[in-house]
Amino acid sequence: MQKNHHQYCVIMAGGLGTRFWPMSRHQRPKQFLDVLGTGRTLLQQTVDRFEKIIPKENIFIVTNKSYSELVNEQVPGLNEHQILLEPSRRNTAPCLAYAVSKIEVKDPEAVIVVAPSDHLIVKEDAFLDQIKKGFHFATENNAIITLGIRPGRPDTGYGYIQFIPDESDDGNVYKVKTFIEKPNLELATSFVSSGEFLWNSGIFITSIPTIQSAFKLFLPEMYAVFQEGKLGYHNEGEAKFLELAYAQCTNISIDYGIIEKAQNVFVIPSDFGWSDLGTWGSLYDNSSKDSTGNAISGKRVMLYDSHNCIVNMPKDKLVVIQGLEDYIVVESQGILLICKKENEQDIRQMVSNVKTHLGEDFV
């Protein structure tokens, strides 16, 4: 397949994956793990996916500087300027401001897809068709295009996008009406039944001129900071500039800083077997299960009178469990977590408490 050399991909790979603790740890977060047992990590699967339609030299990975070796190890063949190393964590808006301004130096006409590094995509061909549709629309229009997932259930763990169903600008590309953060169950149920709401996948497509105009309008100080550094990109002054730039940046997401405020946001309703794999529960949903509903990873796991659990154990660990229902049971690197699936949102707080009382070594 002939690839368009004005098309780029920015993969965000700097997250900590706290809700996947204790498997996901600060020194090796979930994007660098093979959580699905496929032989490829989530980051590798993301790169593999985009490499089918985007030239490898146009794939950029933004991550924390402490993960430089992990990225080089897992994605060989990238040059040093394709791995963008953030000096500190300032959320996704600075991450994108950096990537966009660096790509602009190379190709002011670029159109980009921005995607997290840790999502599951089951129907890759359908996914890539939607990306290509988004590229076409972004090339022809001053627009930010998001991919919205048709909801299969009223899930309270996702943000929602409301679109205007009668206003399709170009073959299933709809104007966005509003964004709603994680709703309660009653609201989520009404959203799904209305047919006007989609899950927010966190994946979007736009052109460099469009997104730079949005930064200039909505985050002008951040825009100015990274414009100042453009002459220092692609040389040894880049790291020093970034230290100063990130110190000046607000900690803000690209969604809250720009996308939820812009008037030129569109959405493509999609169904390509998506999950953000944000929690153990989402991994359970996407794992094969035995006749009692248990999803088991481990060679020596024995369950009695236990149902609908996710159990993830080292291969050499013998584990015998009796009488559990709807539990997460995970051991990794000497840490054991046992938690009700319904309480998995509390794992972040548990990790914070571990860090406070026992120190960094356990997180």
Is residue 88 one of the residues assigned to a domain? yes
Domain stops at, among 275, 305, 326: 275
Per-position b or e across 17-54, b if 16+ CB within 10 A of its CB: bbbbbbbbbbeebbbbbebbeeeebbbbbbbebbbebb
Asked whether residue 42 falls in the same domain as residue 153, the answer is yes
Q: Is residue 251 part of a domain?
A: yes
Specify whether 188 is located in the same domain as 325. no
* pLDDT for residue 169: 58
For residue 263, what pLDDT is reported? 95
Helix (H/G/I), strand (E/B), else coil: 111: strand
347 phi/psi in degrees, rounded to 5: -60, -35
Cβ 103 vs Cβ 28: under 8 Å: no
One domain for residues 129 and 32: yes
Q: pTM for the full model? A: 0.93
The answer on 305 and 269 residing in a single domain is no
How many whole angstroms separate alpha carbon 212 and alpha carbon 219?
10
C-alpha 18/C-alpha 350 separation (Å) is 10
Does any domain span residue 38?
A: yes
Q: Give dist(CA 264, CA 12) in Å, integer.
A: 23
Name residue 304's beta-bridge partners. 322
35 and 12, same structural domain?
A: yes
What is the rounded CA–CA span in Å between residue 9 and residue 47? Answer: 9
- Would 281 be classed as within a structural domain? no
**Does residue 335 share a domain with residue 268?**
no
Q: Which residues of 230-253 are buried (b: 16+ CB within 10 A; e: fewer)?
A: eebbeeeebeebbeebbeebeebb
Whether 18 and 166 share a structural domain: yes
Domain boundary among 275, 310, 331: 275
Q: Which range marks the domain in which residue 304 is found?
A: 289-362
Residue 82 lies in a domain: yes
Domain count, the chain: 2
Residue 2 belongs to a domain: no
Do 312 and 261 sit in the same domain of this protein? Answer: no
Same domain, 11 and 103: yes
CA-to-CA separations, 147 to 22, 172, 207, in angstroms, rounded:
31, 11, 15
CATH number at residue 144: 3.90.550.10
CB 163 within 8 A of CB 196: yes
Domain assignment of residue 280, yes or no: no
| 282 domain residue, yes or no | no
Q: Looking at the chain, which runs of residues are DSSP E strands?
A: 7-12, 59-64, 83-86, 111-116, 120-121, 144-149, 160-168, 174-180, 197-207, 265-270, 274-275, 295-297, 300-304, 310-312, 318-322, 327-332, 335-340
pLDDT of residue 157: 81
Task: Walk along the chain (363 residues) in steps of 10 and give the mean pLDDT of each run.
Answer: 88 93 95 92 98 97 97 95 95 96 95 96 96 96 96 87 77 90 89 91 97 98 93 82 94 95 96 90 92 96 98 94 98 95 93 95 94
The answer to whether residues 293 and 271 belong to one domain is no
Residue where a domain stops, chosen among 225, 248, 275: 275
Q: What is the pLDDT of residue 236?
A: 78
User: Are 115 and 260 contained in the same domain?
Assistant: yes
261/297 same-domain check: no
